[in-house]
Amino acid sequence: MTSLSRSEVVGAKRVVVKVGSSSISGANAGQIRPLVDALAAAHARGCEVILVSSGAIATGMPYLKLDARPTDLATQQAAAAVGQNVLIYRYQESLDRFDIVAAQVLLTAGDLENPTHRSNAQRAMERLLGLRILPIVNENDTVATHEIRFGDNDRLAALVSQLVRADLLVLLSDVDALYTRPPHEPGARRIDTVPFSDDLAGVEFGDIGSAGVGTGGAGTKVAAAKLAASAGTPVLLASTRDVRAALDGAILGTWFEAAPA
């Protein structure tokens, strides 16, 4: 099977889109609406869309009267349990404008490494997509500690793209692309395309995400992109504000080429 080329994005049949906490929580909660607009437009042209959304902890924080991301695991789990409910409500309320039904799918990376759990998850996802339901996937934070402690949902998104054999993985962030060094630093240059064989040895990774509520960075996104690309799924790293243009095939962000077939 030949992987999708950059010029064929608008024709992708199955796309996984991942959005981070800082892009859709707090002051940026309003970005859910344009994000849903973009997903609905792709859905309307027949694309099967899966959204991997971080943000449960960040969304739950105000309800626990927390001014900053909690540092202890129990409070992180409590914030996630409250925030996941609110987050899904916000997505469904926005999707109602397009008569699209969302499904909440809570997974851990471990679920996708366990053959039985993986098979069950794959079967459920295929059925949801067949019913034209839009799955919204998040880490099951109340039982899984890896995401809370060490990273964002980028790796989970890559594993989901493998699970559903996606044509494309779109990783959204506060930054519009991958740069040779943190984009606020002098001399930073945007990287347009990353060939599969490129190990990005000369790139200096900084954090992606500026709101202090997410845990991912450029390094986690590159690792996730490489993981997905190795399984044959190309990856586009782009800004959340550019998601509509990205899904419509505009040449923007950073394109990670998939492994040769």
DSSP state of 211: S
DSSP codes of every residue in 109-165? TTGGGSHHHHHHHHHHHHHHHHTT-EEEEEE-TTT--HHHHH--THHHHHHHHHHTT
Q: Among candidates 222, 234, 223, 226, which has minimal Cα distance to 175?
A: 222
> Are the C-beta atoms of 206 and 53 separated by less than 8 Å?
no
List binding-site positions for ATP: 18, 173-174
List binding-site positions: 18, 54, 141, 153, 173-174
Q: Among candidates 29, 28, 50, which has minimal Cα distance to 107?
A: 50
d(CA 97, CA 21): 23
List binding-site positions for substrate: 54, 141, 153
DSSP codes of every residue in 33-67? HHHHHHHHHHHHTT-EEEEEE--HHHHHGGGGT-S
β-pair partners for 228: none
Total Cβ atoms within 10 A of residue 56? 31
d(CA 250, CA 151): 29
**Which ranges constitute the DSSP H helices of 199-248?**
218-230, 243-247
